[in-house]
Amino acid sequence: MGIEDDFYGTIKFKNGEEIFAKVAASEEEDRTMLVVTNPIMVFEVKARDGTVNGYKVEPWLKTTTEDMFILNMNDVLTISESSDIQMITMYQSFVRQSPHTPPDIRRNKHSKLNRDMGYISSVSDAKDILEKIYKKS
């Protein structure tokens, strides 16, 4: 049948592990497989008083440079689609900063802006252009 549309989601495995990734379901013969991209594990960082100070993000598998994995649904306890913007942003930031992410996806902090990258304008110029486009529609 093929791969369905992908989504951001949390997967809880029967062994207790929990990952966050971009997920797509794939029907293969008589079984459903999950294709996950750049799976991560998220851990709470707590202060001494037990309050959550933040989160620590780590790759799910630390000894591989692969970014895509196929999971058997028999190993999955539950899947939850995520619309949590904070979690998705944290995931995307981790993926961009990963040394295994191709340079064209990773943002290079040392690159200078040039016309080959697209249009360069000031905020006020961009605002004026966008307002004109909006008024025309």
Q: Is the dihedral of CA 81, 87, 93, 98 positive or negative?
A: negative
Q: Residues, the chain, total?
A: 137
Name the pTM for this structure: 0.67
Rounded to 5 degrees, what are φ and ψ at 17?
-65, 150
The per-residue pLDDT for 106 is 47
Identify any residues that bridge with 21 across adjacent strands, giving them in sequence order: 9
More confident residue, 136 or 15: 15
- Domain positions in the chain are 2-110
Q: Which of 80, 105, 110 is nearest to 93 (CA)?
A: 105
Looking at the domain 2-110, which fold is it? Answer: SH3 type barrels. (2.30.30)
Tens-digit pLDDT profile for residues 67-116: 999 998 889 999 999 988 989 998 998 988 876 655 554 454 555 656 56
Mean pLDDT across the chain: 82
